């Protein structure tokens, strides 16, 4: 099954997930993955072992289209169970953070189209027992499906893929400090962004965990502006948001902001692992002023500051 129409109408707060399952020592666990990250789904591949593989779940690598070498991760092994051995096992090839990674799973069921409002945020207990590898919970028919944080899994297996801050890169002195609304459902990324964007003293952050909470906060800002005849830039100078979030995603949030006659002054940047040519067009269509690709946080710091500087000079 190759990737076909994976991107929905922009800003509708909908997503498509592919449901797959993994046999874990006597029971079948069901998981979901945003189809926008899927390149293709196919049969099990013959792999070549890689030297010094960092984790037993990394089976090796195989040659994919255009000669790309793709590592294959056994999801059962990663989840602490015996290796997947069924002959009809499937390989899900994904692309995010500009890198291709493949996951071996016991089987694939089907693709579901649903609203982000149907995605529940994982509670603290689930976050702890899953080591923050679950980003959402969906109830499908008679079962519960967990949405996996593949970025966190890949970063654990390959630390060079983790969100990072290249502190050796020098930053030119800056004249102003900007107030930013940062929106991301990952607590670890929120902590990193808060720490690393504020350590130089050029940003102050207000953070929310999903688009709906961010929109509610922006409505409060809007009410103050409307009451006092002020610009929203008195309170905020920019918004940076992830795309994948329960309740309201980043594309819908950006569309709401840019369609509002007061809030539209705010520059909005998308910071996501999913940015590619197709999705960049989607970001532009909802009015996003920029798209930044994880995981390089230093680049985000520099580009975000430049974006806001240029925005206000142009205004």
Query: Residue 170 pLDDT > 60, yes or no?
Result: no
Tell me, yes or no, whether 259 and 309 share the same domain.
yes
Q: Please tell me which residue, 275 or 108, carries the higher pLDDT value.
A: 108
Query: Residue 256 pLDDT > 90, yes or no?
Result: yes
Tell me, yes or no, whether 56 and 171 share the same domain.
no
pLDDT given for residue 4 in this prediction: 40
Q: CA–CA separation, 245 vs 15, rounded Å?
A: 10
* 3-class secondary-structure state, position 156: helix
Give per-residue pLDDT as tens, 99-151: 889 999 999 999 999 999 999 888 877 776 666 678 889 998 889 999 988 87
The verdict on residue 112 lying in a domain is yes
Say if CB 186 and CB 224 are below 8 A apart: no
* Residue 29, beta-bridge partner list: 22
- Percent of the chain with pLDDT strictly greater than 70: 88
Could you tell me the two tokens for 113?
């189209």
Tell me, yes or no, whether 175 and 251 share the same domain.
yes
Query: Residue 25 pLDDT > 50, yes or no?
Result: yes
Say if CB 310 and CB 179 are below 8 A apart: no
Contacts 24+ apart (CB under 8 A), 4-8: 6/35, 6/36, 6/38, 7/36, 7/278, 7/279, 7/282, 8/113
pLDDT given for residue 315 in this prediction: 60
Which range of residues forms the domain containing residue 21? 14-160
Say if CB 252 and CB 116 are below 8 A apart: yes
Tell me, yes or no, whether 203 and 137 share the same domain.
no
The verdict on residue 4 lying in a domain is no
Look at the alpha carbons of 106, 109, 111, 112 in this order and tell me if their dihedral is positive or negative: negative
The number of domains in the chain is: 2
Q: CA–CA separation, 15 vs 6, rounded Å?
A: 9
pLDDT given for residue 173 in this prediction: 57
Say if CB 43 and CB 51 are below 8 A apart: no
């Amino acid at each position: 099954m190759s990737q076909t129409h994976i991107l929905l109408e922009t800003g509708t707060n909908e997503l498509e997930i592919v449901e797959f399952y993994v046999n874990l020592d006597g029971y079948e666990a069901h998981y979901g993955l945003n189809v926008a990250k899927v390149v293709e789904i196919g049969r099990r591949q013959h792999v070549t072992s890689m030297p010094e593989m960092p984790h037993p779940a990394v089976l090796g690598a195989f040659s994919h289209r255009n000669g790309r070498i793709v590592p294959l991760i056994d999801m059962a092994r990663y989840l602490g169970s015996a290796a997947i051995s069924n002959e009809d096992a499937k390989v899900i090839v994904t692309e995010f953070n500009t890198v291709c990674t493949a996951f071996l799973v016991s089987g694939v069921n089907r693709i579901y189209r649903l609203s982000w409002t149907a995605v529940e945020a994982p509670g603290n207990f689930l976050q702890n027992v899953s080591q923050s590898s679950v980003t959402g919970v969906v109830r499908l028919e008679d079962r519960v499906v967990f949405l996996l944080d593949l970025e966190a899994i890949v970063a654990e297996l390959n630390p060079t893929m983790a969100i990072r801050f290249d502190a050796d890169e020098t930053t030119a002195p800056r004249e102003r400090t900007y107030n930013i609304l940062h929106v991301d459902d990952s607590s670890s990324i929120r902590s990193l962004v808060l720490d690393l964007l504020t350590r130089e003293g050029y940003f102050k952050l207000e953070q929310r965990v999903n688009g709906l909470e961010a929109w509610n906060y922006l409505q409060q800002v809007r009410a103050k502006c409307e009451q006092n005849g002020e610009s929203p830039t008195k309170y905020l100078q920019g918004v940076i948001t992830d795309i994948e979030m329960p309740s309201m995603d980043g594309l819908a949030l950006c569309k709401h902001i840019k369609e509002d006659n007061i809030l539209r002054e705010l520059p909005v940047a998308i910071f996501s692992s999913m940015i590619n040519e197709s999705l960049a067009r989607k970001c532009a269509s909802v009015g996003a002023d920029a798209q930044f690709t994880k995981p390089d946080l230093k680049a985000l710091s520099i580009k975000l500051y430049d974006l806001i500087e240029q925005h206000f000079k142009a205004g």
